[in-house]
Structure 1
Amino acid sequence: MAFPAPRPEGPQLPQVLLRTVDCLQGPVRAVRFNVDGNYFLSCGADKSLKLWSVNRGTLLKTYSGHGYEVLDADSSFDNSQLCSCSSDKSVILWDVASGQVTRKLRGHAGKVNCVQFNEEATVVLSGSIDGSVRCWDTRSRRQEPIQILDDARDSISSLKVAQHELLTGCVDGRLRRYDLRMGQLHVDFISSPITCVCFSADGQCTLSSSLDSTLRLLDKSTGELLGEYKGHQMKGYKLDCCLSSKDTHVLSCSEDGHVYCWDLVEGSLALKLPVGKAVVQSMSFHPSQCRLLTAMERHVQLWANESESTEESMNTDT
C-alpha cells in the first residue's frame, strides 16, 4: 500500500528575534545588508554610518563625515568601498578598511534620499529631492557626474540598479525604468507617491510601495499589474518594501510597528511580524538566507526562521 507523499513544507519566514542592537546613533534612517549578508550598515540621524557584524552584533567601524543625517548607504561587490548619502546634499565614498572618505560628491540641489553602486562598483547612482538621478564615476577624480537623469517631476524617493537597468520611484507617482544600454525610458503611472522600489530576484517584475498603503507587483516588460498587497499602514512616512531572497514573499514596513509579509502568488497575508510600538522605518532581507533586518527608532533587530534560531542558540551554548 502506497502512502501519499508528505506535502512539501512552504518557505519559512523570519519570525524569531535573534538579536536587538542599540546603534547609539539617534533614529536609524536605513539599515542594509552588505552583498553577502555577513555585515550590515546602519544610517543614523547623528550624521554617522556604522558597519556591524551580523553574526555577533558587534560594531566594526564608524564612518563620520556627513554634515547632516545619513539617509541611505550601499556596499560594493568586493566589500572594499561604501557609499552613503545625506540630507547635507552630498554623496560620500568610503574606504571600508581605513574608514577614510575617498570622494565627496556634490551637485544635488537638495537632500539625497537614495544611493547604490552598480554591480562592478564603477558607478554610484544617487537620487535626490531635487528630482534628479546622478551617475558618478568612482574611478575618476572629476567632480561632475557622468550622467544626469532629470525626467522626474518631484523628489526621487528610491532607486535600484540591476545589470544595465535602473529603476526609480518618485513622489510624482511614476515608476521609471531606464535601460541604460539601449538609452530607453519606460514609465508606469501609479496614482500615489512612491516610497520604495525594487526588482524581483529573477529580474522579471518590479515591486513598488506607495502612500496609499498599497504595494504593487508589475510585469517589468508589459507594465501589467500582477498583484496588489494591502493591510499595512503607509500614509506619511517613506518606508521600505522588498521581496524575499527567493521571490516567494513580499514584505513591507508599516507605521503600526509591524512588518507585513504576503505570499507573492496568492496575495494572502502570511505573517504580521510585531517589531515594536513605533514606526518600522527600514528593513533589509538577507541576499540568500531567511533573515531580515528591521530598524525602529535607535535599534536594529535581526530576525530568522525557527530552524536557524535553534542552530544559533546551540552555537551560543557551545
Structure 2
Amino acid sequence: MNYSLRNKFDCNQGAIRAVRYNIDGNYCLSCGADRKVKLINPESGLMIKSYTAHGDEVNDATGSCDSSFILSGSKDKSIIYWDVITGMPIRRIRTHVGGITCVSFNDDSSVAISGSRDNSVQCFDIRSRSLEPIQTLKEAKDCITDLIVTDNKIISSSLDGTIRYYDIRVGELTSDKIGIPIVAMAITSDNQCILASCQDESIRLTDLDGGEILTEYKGHIGSKDYRIECGVLKGDGYVISGSKFGEVIVYDFLEANIVKRLQIGSGNTISSLCVHPSNDQMLFASGREVQVWSLNDSDE
C-alpha cells in the first residue's frame, strides 16, 4: 500500500467540485466553481479543452462510453450534453426545479440520467431532439446525492437516508433504508455491494441484492461544506474515503481497519475523488488543486 504522489496541478477554476476519469482513464474532467468543465491530461496536467456554458457552479460531469461526449450538471438547474472535440453544447436541458447534484450515462450513453436537489431523478433520450424526460423518478424525500447506473439498474442515494434501486427491465423499485443521510456512493467491481458514505462519518457496505449492511468503515472526518466521496480500489481489496484536513483514508475491505492515511495538499477537505478504471491510480481534488496518486511499481 505504498502510494505516492505522481502529479499535481491547479485547474485554475476556483474550488473543484468534482473530478472524474473518462472511460479508459487517459483523461479526466474537473468541475469548478468558475462554471466550467475542463478536460485534462492527468499525466502532464495539460488542460486540453474548456467547456463554458453553465450559469453557475458545475457539480458533476461524466464522459460517454466512446469519450466523444460529456454530460455535466450544474447548480443552475441544467444539464448540458457537450461535443468533446468542438467544445460546443449539443443539448441544454432544464427540466429540474433544483440544482443538479449528479449525472450519469447508461452503458451505451444513449440515456442521460440526472439527480437534483428537487428530490428527483430524471432520464433523457439524449440522442433525440426532445428536451423532456422519458422518465422521472420522484420517490426520494430529500436531495438526490449520487447515482450509479448498471446494465439493468439505476441506483440513487438521498439525504433521506435511503438507497433506491430501480430495476429498469421489470419496472420494480427496491429501497434500502440506511436511516442516516447518504452523501455519496460507490459500487464494487463485481456489482454485488454498494458503499454508502453517510453524514455520521461512516461508510456502510450493503449487499446489493439483499440490502443488509455487511460492515462499516469509520475513521475519516466529515465536513458540512463538502460531500465526502468514497471508492473501491482495483480488485476490491481496499476502500478509500476523503476526509477533512486533507487526508485520504484507506481501509481494508474485509477487516474494515485503517491501513493507510495519505496526506493530500495543504490540509483542505478532500472535495472529490475518483479511482482509475483499470489500474492502481487515483485522483483527489482539494481546494483548487487536483493530485494524481499511484501505487509504487514495487508494490504492484
Q: TM-score, normalised by structure 2?
A: 0.97
2:295 to 291, 296, 305: 305
Are 2:276 and 1:293 aligned? no
> Contact 2:19–2:30 (CA<8 Å) still a contact in 1?
yes
1:279 to 250, 263, 269: 269
Residue of structure 1 in register with 2:254 after alignment = 265
**Secondary structure at 1:281 match in 2:** strand
Label 1:235 to 1:44 Cα distance change in 2 as closer, same or farther (>3 A): closer
Within 5 Å, give how 1:55-134 maps onto structure 2.
Answer: 55-134=43-122
Are 2:160 and 1:163 aligned? no
Letter in 1 for 2:129: R
Deviation at 1:140, TM superposition (A): 0.6
> Contact 1:281–1:296 (CA<8 Å) still a contact in 2?
yes
1:21 to 1, 5, 9: 9
> Contact 2:223–2:269 (CA<8 Å) still a contact in 1?
no
CA–CA separation in structure 1 for the residues paired with 2:150 and 2:244: 29
Deviation at 1:256, TM superposition (A): 2.5
Q: Could you list the per-position Cα deviations for residues 48-104 of structure 1 after superposition, in whole angstroms to 9, with x for gaps in the alignment?
A: 000011222211000000000000000001000000000000000000011000000
Deviation at 1:245, TM superposition (A): 2.5
**Secondary structure at 1:115 match in 2:** strand
Letter in 1 for 2:21: F
Residue of structure 2 in register with 1:143 after alignment = 131
Are 2:239 and 1:245 aligned? no
User: 4+ runs of 1 displaced by more than 3 Å?
Assistant: none
Deviation at 1:222, TM superposition (A): 0.8
**Secondary structure at 1:246 match in 2:** helix
Residue of structure 2 in register with 1:179 after alignment = 167
**Percent of matched pairs sharing the same residue:** 42
> Contact 2:185–2:195 (CA<8 Å) still a contact in 1?
yes
Within 5 Å, give how 1:45-60 maps onto structure 2.
Answer: 45-60=33-48
CA–CA separation in structure 2 for the residues paired with 1:31 and 1:235: 18
Q: Could you list the per-position Cα deviations for residues 124-180 of structure 1 after superposition, in whole angstroms to 9, with x for gaps in the alignment?
A: 100000000000111110010000000000000111101111111100011111111
Structure 1 gap ranges (5+) = 1-11, 311-318
Residue of structure 2 in register with 1:204 after alignment = 192
CA–CA separation in structure 1 for the residues paired with 2:58 and 2:75: 7
Q: Could you list the per-position Cα deviations for residues 177-198 of structure 1 after superposition, in whole angstroms to 9, with x for gaps in the alignment?
A: 1111111111111121100012
> Contact 1:18–1:309 (CA<8 Å) still a contact in 2?
no
* Structure 1 vs Structure 2 CA RMSD: 1.4
**Secondary structure at 1:262 match in 2:** strand
Moved more, 281-290 or 234-243: 234-243
CA–CA separation in structure 2 for the residues paired with 1:77 and 1:274: 33
Are 2:33 and 1:33 aligned? no
Letter in 1 for 2:253: L
CA–CA separation in structure 2 for the residues paired with 1:146 and 1:239: 31
CA–CA separation in structure 2 for the residues paired with 1:245 and 1:65: 35
**Secondary structure at 1:256 match in 2:** helix
Letter in 2 for 1:283: L
Deviation at 1:238, TM superposition (A): 1.2
